[in-house]
Structure 1
Amino acid sequence: MANDVINWVSFTIQIVGLLLITIELYLPPLAERLKTFLESVQFRLFGRPATTQYWNWVAIGSYIAIWVISVATVSLMEPSMSIVANVAFTIFTVFLGTVFFVSKVFVKLGIVLGRGNAIGGVGLVLALMGFTIELSRMFFV
């Protein structure tokens, strides 16, 4: 059951990424309109547009809150496992940071290869993420 879900998720991520790359390479006017549309979408919070810095703070704060709540729950249920929970979150944080760094590098590479349009960069990242999920499943299952 879990393998089927992983298969479909990785396949869907790859298809969306390859579709974005295809739009970037073969339909430049559509890619430009898509880029303009995505840049024009603005989320509002308390009547003001939410900035990227705000969303970064929300994401970091949420992650820390989840970490603290999870470790506190584990400590209450099994006090000897609190160090294991902290180590697990630390390893996951390092992994997540590595994924974000690699994703930023791929997006910048995609922007360069895509003649300045970020659609190809995002497509490249999505396609590589789906491919990596399939590879990891092949090696670790």
Structure 2
Amino acid sequence: MLTNSVINWVGFTIQVIGLLLITIELYLPPLAERLKTFLESIQFRLAGKPATKQYWNWVAIVAYIVIWVISVAVVSIMDPPMSIVANAAFTLFTVFLGVVIFVSKVFVRLGIVLGRGNVIGGVGLVLALIGFTIEISKMVFS
């Protein structure tokens, strides 16, 4: 009962944030440009120098592999026949995650083209579609 309510609110909130970004992109171009400049100026620093996108990609990939290995090792110690199931589950999740990332990149590029080169519309489009997908999947699986 509580899980359904949380999923509904998360889907709705993500969708509203995405639609708000699309609205800013379409109807308030100066604000969209200032928002883009602000988001581009934010840089995470690591050991005093800005961390690059490639660095964060490597950190995410290594962390995911470490989680995968530790999880499968724990499962194989507790119940050895389940290690195959755990590996299959991680493989399916990895494929799903790859498809979601690919589709998100395609939608962001489409949003950039439709948004006259501003990335705010692309991110808004992706968030709106993610929220919409959460709501549709909730209706389908209920």
TM-score norm. by structure 2 comes to 0.98
Give the structure 1 partner of residue 67 of structure 2.
Answer: 66
CA RMSD in angstroms comes to: 0.6
Give the structure 1 partner of residue 140 of structure 2.
Answer: 139
How far residue 73 of structure 1 moved from its aligned partner, in angstroms, is: 1.0
User: Hey, what's the Cα distance between the residues in 2 that align with 1:56 and 1:9?
Assistant: 26
3-state SS, counterpart of residue 79 of structure 1: coil
Segments of structure 2 that go 5 or more residues without pairing to the other structure are none
Question: Any idea what the Cα deviations from partners look like across 1:75-116, whole Å, max 9, x if unmatched?
Answer: 111111000000000000000000000000000000000000
Give the structure 1 partner of residue 13 of structure 2.
Answer: 12
User: Hey, what's the Cα distance between the residues in 1 that align with 2:134 and 2:93?
Assistant: 16
Give the structure 1 partner of residue 51 of structure 2.
Answer: 50
Alignment-mate amino acid for residue 30 of structure 1: L
User: Hey, what's the Cα distance between the residues in 2 that align with 1:77 and 1:8?
Assistant: 36
User: Hey, what's the Cα distance between the residues in 1 that align with 2:52 and 2:30?
Assistant: 28
3-state SS, counterpart of residue 81 of structure 2: helix
- Identical-residue share of aligned pairs (%): 80
Alignment-mate amino acid for residue 15 of structure 1: V
**1:27 paired to 2:24:** no
User: Hey, what's the Cα distance between the residues in 2 that align with 1:46 and 1:62?
Assistant: 19
Matches within 5 A, 1:56-95: 56-95=57-96
How far residue 118 of structure 1 moved from its aligned partner, in angstroms, is: 0.1
How far residue 123 of structure 1 moved from its aligned partner, in angstroms, is: 0.1
